[in-house]
A and B are shown apart, each in its own frame.
Chain A
Amino acid sequence: MRPRRARRRSALTPYLFLAPGLVLFAAFRVYPLLEGLWLSFTNARLGRAQQTFVGVANYSRLLDDTRFHASLLNTAYYTIASTLPILAVPLVLAIALNRGVAMRTFLRGAFFFPFTLSVVTVGLTWLWLLDPVIGPSTYYLRALGVPVRSWLADPATAMWGIILTSVWWVTGYYLVIYLAGLQDIPRELYEAAALDGAGGWRSFWGITLPLLRPVFLFVLVTHIIGSFQIFGQVFILTNGGPGDATRTVVQHLYETAFQNFFHFGSATAMAWVLFLVILAFSLVQFRLLRGHTQY
């Protein structure tokens, strides 16, 4: 009797170890995900006890919601416009740091530090720096003869103020990832290339970039998932304005669900449309950058 019980207990062991985490995960990740999908087909509202099924009404309403269209375009614009700086700025810094400069730990720390700040702190910092009247950037740019505008209040430049803020915030994170990727590239490859007479540029294009492909994929997918959900920077810097020039999907979702209409059905429908857009963009990245680099 005894050995059998012991065996049954040991068969249960893995599940007992998993149980607390999986309960947490099921209740606060899986269940809300599915409930959200259901809510998007109902007329759910804040404070309404019972919801009724309304078919695709929430989704078809999104087809007429011009503000949703604007926010989707703004979000895509933000994501695409920030992609190049997010890919390039940390890469350039990482390559420079990887060249054996002195004080590497300090330098890496300096670039990484903004990433430890909350989006609110970052937003308030840049709000102050870009203040059109008394902000220091205004003063110095004017001193340099640059015509200064109220960047964040001008529809043509407001989004770029947000992009600048984001790049400053996350560069250090991607820098660390690039540095790790660069260190994984075998030194011998560069030495062999140098023996064959390849200069710095040749080995950059021929070795560094192709071998960093998995790192680019990670950076791009992380960037896309994050950028399509941008909220905090916009909330602090422009609150979606001027007009709708910087309103993003998550902000519109937040306003629909928690500020103006308390309409959970519409808001979850927006969330699922956003999810599908993110999925599509991520799959394209996987397709483009997939494949094994062999040497």
Chain B
Amino acid sequence: MSPTSSRVGYAILTALMVALAVAWLLPVVWVVVTSLKLTENIVRVPPEWIPWPATLEHYGEVLFSSSRTARIGRAFLNSAVVSLGSVAIVLLTSAMAAYPLARMRFGGRGPVFGLLVGSLMIPNAVILVPQYVLVQRLGWLSTYQGLIVPEAAMTFAFGVFLLRQFFLTIPAELEDAARIDGAGPWQIFTRILLPLSQPVLSALAIFAFRSAWNDFLWPLIAVNKPDMFPLPVALALLRGAYAAESYGPIMAGAALSALPLLIVFLVANRRIVEGVRVSALKG
């Protein structure tokens, strides 16, 4: 191909891909458009893509009104507490565990790492019922810890795997130099390894946040007080609370629930992609 014809070819390909990407996002646009429409305009056919006159009444209703169902505002708070709590535990425990697995020699290192990686293949469905039994025995049903701890345990092994891969790439000379200066393992961990690992730590934080924020099945069974529902459960019940034709409040709730990850995604797009990449290809 001559340079000009290939340039035209790329232009066509780009145009095609942009059209496809816009089409891919149309469902999301439709959700937002619906959430901003007056109730009587939502059901109008043909579909109207410009929500005019626009209203925020559906947002107000799902955030604050408690008349029909669990308030999305409260669920938002619950999801934030659970997700951030789980992120903190995952980061701490998996970074601490990954450090010796990457940088120290000790008995049992191979089997421990093998067990953790092997556990990534175990379907969560197998653990669902016995985990319920355990959490019930602990008296943790409908509590934050009953959501945070199992979510963190679910992501822990993946976190170890991801961080160990990264720790292995840090040159040993840095550690040796610090040891000569009298630094112990804890200082090496907190002053050298962790600061150098910020990109991969934030990738793991986003991953853990996403999986806790979006998990549905576990909170569906582990929580039975409406005040403790996280967003996905509250949203699923919102659907039952409204008649089929009133999509406005449901779509407002859906849009709200997507907001935090949208912001994270816009800020840290590259990091997320890098995290997915690293996790998959080393597997």
Contacts and interface: CB of A to CB of B under 8 A. Distances in A.
Interface of A: 10-11, 13-15, 17-18, 20-22, 24-25, 27-33, 35-36, 39, 44, 93, 96-97, 99-103, 105-114, 116-121, 124-129, 131, 134, 136, 139-140, 143, 168, 173, 176-177, 179-181, 184, 215, 218, 221-222, 225, 228-229, 231-232, 235-236, 249-250, 253-254, 257-258, 264, 267-268, 271-272, 274-275, 278, 282
Interface in B218-274: 220-221, 231-233, 235-236, 239, 244-245, 247, 250-251, 254, 257-258, 261-262, 264-265, 269-270, 272-273
B276 A118 contact: no
Given A36-B127, A125-B27, 6 more contacts: A14-B104, A107-B18, A113-B25, A125-B254, A177-B277, A282-B121
Contacts, number: 270
Interface of B: 10, 13-14, 16-18, 20-22, 24-25, 27-28, 30-31, 34, 42-47, 89, 92-94, 96-97, 99-101, 104, 106, 109, 112, 116, 119, 121-134, 149-150, 152-154, 156-157, 160, 185, 189, 210, 213-217, 220-221, 231-233, 235-236, 239, 244-245, 247, 250-251, 254, 257-258, 261-262, 264-265, 269-270, 272-273, 276-277, 280-281, 283
Nearest to A172: B24
Contact of A114 (B18, B28, B96): B28
Contacts of B122: 29, 33, 275
A102 B27 contact: no
Nearest to B275: A176
B273 A108 contact: yes
Contacts of A18: 96-97, 100-101, 112
B30 A99 contact: no
Contact of A13 (B100, B125, B214): B100
A122 to B, nearest CB: 9
B214 A117 contact: yes
Contacts of B154: 28-29
Nearest to A253: B125
Nearest to B135: A28
A102 B7 CA distance: 11
Interface SS, A side: helix
A120 to B, nearest CB: 4
Q: Tell me what chain B mostly uses at the interface: helix, strand, loop, or mixed.
A: helix
A136 B47 contact: yes
A17 B103 CA distance: 12
Top 7 nearest A-B pairs (CB, nearest first) are A28-B153, A14-B100, A21-B93, A118-B214, A110-B21, A21-B97, A32-B130
6 contacts: A20-B96, A28-B154, A29-B122, A114-B27, A128-B250, A177-B276
A17 B17 contact: no
A106 B20 CA distance: 12
